[in-house]
Structure 1
Amino acid sequence: MYRNEQKRRKLDEEFEQLIMDERTRLLQLRSPWIMEDISDHIRGWFAEFYAATGNFHPYPDPVKNGTVLVVIDETMDVGAFQESLTKKPLTSEEKKKIKDKKKAEKRKMKEKLKNQKMKDAKRRKKLKDAGIIDVAYSIASSKPIVNIEDTMKQFSIDWRNVDEYLNKNHGPIKAWVTEQELDVIHHELRELVDEYMRTVGPAKGDIKMVVQESMLGMSEFDIAKPKSILLVGPVNSGKKLLCNIIASELDAVFINLSPEKVCNFSQDMDMFLHIVMKVAREFQPTILYIEEAHRVFHKKIPPEEKDILPTLLAPYIQKKILKPIKKSDKIVLLGTTSLPWMAKPLLKRNFQKILLIPKCDYGTCFLLWLDLMTENAPEALENYAYSALAKIMKAYNSGDLANSVANTLSVSRKMRLKAEALDPMEFLEYFLTEMDPPLFPPEDKLMDKFNKWFGASNKFEKMRNAAMAAKMAKQKKK
């Protein structure tokens, strides 16, 4: 007995450890992709609904399990939604009548069931008095028997493909654990996705998708593309990194036209830009890059920037750079800015496509931590810590997180890893104690400022706001 008890305990511990290990593995390897799949499915559902009705379906209520309703097809269909838009709101009297009617129907149904039960009871009593037992009723009405039958059915389904003779040590079946944990993780992540969508502005994955689509014309595909793109976002939000990634993926020539580089050729700008465009055309694909492009269109030049003549390039961009770019040319002007409101409106007119880099979300932050730690110290942290770090620090900019890892995992700290285990709190201490003053995530006021500027520069945002205002005015009249 003691030996069996010891074995049972050991098997239970192994099973619990397997669940923990498998959950950690799935969170690490699958959670970002699961979140992306859920997000794509929700966006697709909204897009289909909008294409059919011209309106967006209300976001499913979190109390009713959110977008789980979309999966199980319990949201309004197109007909019901259109009817809800045209239907006038009910008065309090009409609501009371409907409520009373439902109560009456419920009462009537309850009375009908009660009468049916009484008839059945009388019939069984007559049979019992005659010495006849209704076995079918006894079995169907017995909860323990029903539970046993359900368990046996489920047992036959679960174990039909499992050969226990091959499992001599009675170890846990990993496939079942994986399936169960995936289901739990999927529900947990769907709640997170729903939360982001309700609050969603775009995520960094959306920006990546838009940039990729814009860059298709820079590859072998002969399709339309913007001549100029501006990436807008806070300092350290990953704008320059994204530009370098684009250049790397396209295997493009990267020509820096930032003010500190261009000022060296102020004596003959015409010749300088002639040579730049000639090189750009000869070595296509080519990216012409301007860092902090608001400086080129400064409203007022700061004293510390006067030496680099920041606005020197401004008069030449349209005539000497954008106009010579033909549709077939694989050349694009790519700019970044963290202070777009410091520039004149000319900034907007010189960039055909403007993209706002959003705040980091959980999925992006998780992948970032995973990549940074894999590159610097792959075995320094337990796998579960990545998820915790992503949740705690998701509001920080991606560049801030990269700096945290680089500074925390210095050469001396890496040398001490075997003797002194790494504590996830060390990364947070970098922001709060080592930085002077402490570094906090971008304030909501700053992000609101970016959103306001972006909204004023985005024609689709203007059209959307105008349509929403017209819709609200129409509803008020009704």
Structure 2
Amino acid sequence: AYQRLWESSHVTLQELLDREQPLLEPVPERERQSFQYRVASLYLRYLGLLRRFDTIYDQMVQPQKRRLLRRLLDCVAGRVLELKDELVRVDLSESHCLDRVLQDLKLTPADLEVSIPKYFLLEQSSAIRERGQMLAEILSRMGPVSSQEDFPRMHRTEAIILVQKAERARQGRLRATFMKEIQKEEERDWKIRGDGQRKFSQDQAALTVQKVWKGYLQRKRTQQDRQTEMEFIGMLSPPSQVEHLDIMFQACLGDDIRRLRQIEKEEEFQAAMEKAGSFLRETEGPDMKEKMKEQICQWFIECHALTGRFPDYPDESLGGSYLIFADKTPEQVRMELETQVQESKKKEQEKSEEKEKDQKEKDKKRKKKGKKEKAKKGEADVMLKVLPSKFTPAISAGHVEYLNLWKNRQESVHPSQNFDSEALREEKRKELEQEIRVQVDELMRQELRNLRLAVDKEEERPLKAPKKKPGKKTGKKKEKDLTPDRSVDSLYRELVVFGLLKKSETVALKDYIGDCLYLGSTLTLANKLPMPSLFDIRQNMALYAVLRLGSPDIHAMAPLIRSLLLVGPSGMGKKMLVQAVCTETGANLFDLSPGNLLGKYPGKTGAQMIVHMVFKVARLLQPSVIWIGNAEKNFYKKVPKEERQMDPKRIKKDLTKAIQLLVPGDRVMLIGTTARPQLAELKGLCRVYERILLMPQPDYASRYVLWKRMIEARGFQVTQSLDISALAKVSDGYTPGHILQAIQSVLNERRLLQVAKRPLVASEFLGHLAKLDPVYREEEESLKDWYFKTPLGKKSMKLSKDQLEAEEARLAKEKKRK
């Protein structure tokens, strides 16, 4: 089954590789929508491919296939991240309206979900377990933390009076209920006495009973038919989940068994690799070495006979003696070496000419400041095009390897999923050849020196070191190590003791519940700017944080994102998302919130030491998440009087410098959360946080899913008596945190016992919702206004205005024509 899935995946992959080249061609600005459609469709197809490769890699047993699948899985995940960046660049928004693309590709909203590779946690489970044990050991040595709140003490007499009041009120409520029932019963008896009992004949009585009974049976039958129909079309879940759970249990058991077989086959493959390497080194190594020496000596003789002098030995950086073995004549090798020298000289000349041209162009641009409109039109003609991908060549190479090695391989030959010994020997032979070539190159360089001295009486010609290319210095800035003599363990322990490194709660990213926006394209056509849904927030966290932090190969080549800022009202689940990122990637959680730094490492040097220690340990123990709650406090426009003692801005400069030092390969991410970004200086905040995700209140679809899932999570079965649609409408303006509080208040253990006799109804939640303060429209509008002042928000507003003006101009032209 997984082999067939792999074959079909490569058919899809071939189609996607064919679509890559047309996107590199520039597209004029007026074709923005069609360009966005093409990028979005490619993005969705790659998302589906990522999901399939993850499933195959997780369950495929054959070790050699799994190595190729791992490379393809990482490269496809990296390509998804690249296309996400392209969508942001085209849409000028962090969330995208892909409902029209979904409909055209005949996909469901579930296909928008970003698949998180399972190997992120499976392959580092032992390291995560050891780190958790170490953290638990340090916390246990610190002693029990007094986290219990100090309740106000009450005098004994006051406590007795309070208990008496509660007991008398309970008895009063019971007595009132009892008296109400007695009163109703008396009223019923009085009505019977006044009206008198109506007398029926035997046939009339039988007819009445039949009517009632047949009506009851028909209503019951109709209700059952409606229930069956709703279950069939997927609108209701079946009442008995026993069979479904049994099937899921069997499937999970099969998955675990295959993972155990993967470990066994991998151990066998490792042992076979060592054995094959040592066998080839003993049997074929000496012959390979002698053959290389003979070929190089023959090359020396032929070059001396043709040119009258011995050649220069190719440098190791150029491939060494591999140039000689590439089926080339001595003249071709000599010509190549000479052309390389000439090309380097030409490149230097071209660069000097380009610098002069650039200078002239800059002067021309300064003179042409008055002609901005024409320049803008020229730029717009070539504005939209996809940047060259770093992952596409690797994907193409993996696809070619599959076609050459595995496509036409008969799987019946390997029913037990053992490794292929022929492919293994070929691979080890190539590795051995590279090892021997390095050794032979050293020997033959010395041999070449001796030949020059003996034959030509010529000393060694010194090889010129290749000149470094001028330009911008690319590399990591050197950071001064403030703790050079301390080990990682000691720094780790100190951070735990001071509360800067915390244990993250186990929260899966899928637990952040929310539905996608189904009418995004409709709102866009109506010139209304659609706000991101909770589904978009979850998807962006998976793309920006989880996929990058989970794999070093993906992080090293994917577009670099060092920091994220989550902006939204309290109760939107910002801290939960931070915990979910740590759970999905096995990352350490560092807390640099201003409130957590109060009284720790005082002074300017103390702030510098905090940031240095946190970032040093985060780099050494990757992956890591550095969380800053109330991130606006680090960038206050004006510090409030009550917070001046805290000095929330003291790590501002050091934090900005430390973020800039993170490079591709450093799986460290800074995630800030804030509910009041208006209090912060916008420029400094945007300099530290590269991506800003706005989290507005949930829409109707998300609220419906929130109510349903949260009630079911408390152990209650949602029935037709509970109108979730009404609850979703009534709770407009409330956050997921408010909805959770209302559900926890109503659905306690006592209420769970009463469900059989008294079904759950929507009105029970209204009283608790009414006690909570919703997110008022003014607060939400102020957050939106702030977001549209950020760099990406400004670009988005400008684009929408330009599109609106173009639409108005088009309508005006049509009116004139009419």
Pick aligned residue for 1:323 from 643, 650, 660 = 660
Q: Which residue of 2 aligns with 1:356?
A: 694
Give the residue type in structure 2 aligned to 1:265. Y
Q: 2:787 aligns with which of 450, 454, 463?
A: 454
What amino acid does structure 2 have at the position aligned with 1:202? P
- Is 1:375–2:375 an aligned residue pair? no
Residue 294 of structure 1, CA deviation: 0.5
- Aligned residue for 2:670, secondary structure, equals strand
Number of matched residues?
Answer: 313
The amino acid across from 1:23 in the alignment is: M
1:301 Cα deviation after fit: 1.8
Specify the alignment match of 1:397 in structure 2. 735
> Is 1:227 aligned to 2:558, yes or no?
no
Correspondence list, 1:73-472, <5 A: 200-215=530-545, 216-220=547-551, 221-222=554-555, 223-263=558-598, 264-267=600-603, 268-319=606-657, 321-345=658-682, 346-379=684-717, 382=720, 384-414=722-752, 416-417=754-755, 420-432=758-770, 435=771, 439-459=772-792, 461-471=793-803
Q: Map Cα deviations across residues 314-365 of structure 1 (whole Å, 9 max, x no partner).
A: 121111x302312111110001111000011211221000010122123322
- Residues 458 and 23 of structure 1: CA distance in aligned 2, closer, same or farther (over 3 Å): farther
Q: CA deviation at 1:201?
A: 1.8
Deviates further, 463-472 or 221-230 = 463-472
User: CA 1:305–1:418 in structure 2 vs 1: closer, same or farther (change >3 Å)?
Assistant: farther
How far the C-alpha of 1:377 sits from its partner, in A, is: 3.3
Is the contact between residue 217 and residue 224 of structure 1 (CA under 8 Å) also seen in structure 2?
Answer: no
Give CA-to-partner distance per residue, 1:99-127, whole Å, 9 cap, x none: xxxxxxxxxxxxxxxxxxxxxxxxxxxxx
Any conservation in 2 of the 1:227–1:352 contact (CA below 8 Å)?
yes
How far apart, CA to CA, are the structure 2 residues paired with 1:464 and 1:403? 36
| Partner SS for 2:548 | helix
- The 1:19–1:291 alpha-carbon spacing in structure 2 relative to 1, beyond 3 Å, is same
Asked if 1 retains the 8 angstrom alpha-carbon contact of 2:611 and 2:651, the reply is: no
Q: CA shift at 1:249, angstroms?
A: 1.4
Q: Distance in 2 between matches of 1:304 and 1:371?
A: 41
Query: 1:202·1:358 contact (CA, 8 Å) conserved in 2?
Result: yes
For 1:466, give the aligned amino acid. Answer: K
- CA deviation digits over 1:362-401, x for unaligned, max 9? 3322222233212223237657533332233243111111
Q: CA deviation at 1:195?
A: 7.5
Q: Distance in 2 between matches of 1:431 and 1:295?
A: 31
The alpha-carbon distance between structure 1 residues 217 and 190, as it changes in their structure 2 partners (threshold 3 A), is closer
- Asked if the contact 1:254/1:288 (under 8 Å) is kept, the reply is yes
Distance 1:237 1:193, change over 3 A: farther
Distance in 2 of aligned mates of 1:418 and 1:369? 20
Quote the Cα distance in structure 1 between the aligned partners of 2:680 and 2:725.
39
Deviation sequence 1:412-450 (CA, Å, 0-9, x none): 544555555443222111122xx2xxx343222222211
Q: For structure 1, which runs of at least 5 residues remain unmatched after alignment?
A: 31-53, 55-188
Change (3 A) 1:265 1:413: farther
2:519 & 2:797 partners in 1: Cα distance? Answer: 28
Q: Structure 1: how far apart are the matches of 2:561 and 2:798?
A: 25
**Secondary structure of 1:426 counterpart:** helix
Following superposition, the deviation at residue 244 of structure 1 comes to 1.5
Distance 1:390 1:192 in 2: 20
Is 1:18 equivalent to 2:237 in the alignment?
A: no
Runs of 5+ in structure 2 lacking a partner?
Answer: 1-206, 239-383, 385-516, 814-818
| Deviation per residue, 1:75-134 (Å, 9 max, x gap) | xxxxxxxxxxxxxxxxxxxxxxxxxxxxxxxxxxxxxxxxxxxxxxxxxxxxxxxxxxxx
The letter for the 2-side match of 1:208 is R
Change (3 A) 1:410 1:194: farther
User: Residue type matched to 1:396 in 2?
Assistant: Y
Q: Which amino acid aligns with 1:444?
A: R
In the alignment, the residues of structure 2 paired with residue 21 and residue 393 of structure 1 have an alpha-carbon distance, to the nearest angstrom, of 30
Q: What is residue 185 of structure 2 aligned with on the other side? A: none
Rg larger for: 2
Distance 2:525 2:749 in 1: 41
1:471 Cα deviation (Å)?
5.0
AA aligned to 2:601 is F
2:593 alignment partner AA? S
* Conserved 8 A contact 1:28-1:387: no
Say which is worse superposed, 301-310 or 352-361, in terms of deviation: 301-310
Q: Which stretch shows the higher mean deviation, 294-303 or 327-336? A: 294-303
Which residue identity is paired with 1:448?
E
CA contact (8 A) 1:380 1:421 kept: no
Deviation at 1:232, TM superposition (A): 0.5
CA shift, 1:227, in A, is: 0.4
- Structure 1: which amino acid aligns with 2:574? K
**Following TM superposition, by how much is the alpha carbon of 1:258 offset from its aligned partner in structure 2, in angstroms?**
0.3
State the shift of 1:269 in Å: 2.1
Structure 1: distance between partners of 2:644 and 2:525: 44
TM-score, length basis structure 1: 0.58
Amino acid at match of 1:464: S
* TM-score, normalised with respect to structure 2: 0.35
Are 1:372 and 1:405, in contact at CA under 8 Å, matched by a contact in 2?
yes
d(CA) in 2 for partners of 1:244 and 1:23?
37
Distance in 1 (CA, whole Å) between partners of 2:700 and 2:668 is 34
- Aligned partners of 2:217 and 2:524: how far apart in 1? 42
CA contact (8 A) 2:788 2:797 kept: no
1:250-277 per-residue CA deviation (whole Å, 9 max, x = no partner) reads 2211111101112322342222222211
Q: Whole-Å Cα distance in 1 between the matches of residues 710 and 804 of structure 2?
A: 47
Q: Is residue 562–residue 662 contact of structure 2 (8 Å, CA) maintained in 1?
A: yes
- Structure 1 pair 427–12 and aligned structure 2 pair: CA distance change class (3 A): closer
Give SS of 2:651's match.
Answer: helix
Helix, strand or coil for the counterpart of 1:310?
coil
Report SS of the residue matched to 2:650: helix
CA separation in 2, counterparts of 1:214 and 1:444? 29
Helix, strand or coil at the partner of 1:207: helix
Fraction of identical pairs, as percent: 25
User: How far off its partner does 1:235 sit?
Assistant: 1.4
Give the 3 Å change call, closer, same or farther, for CA 413–7 of structure 1 in structure 2: closer
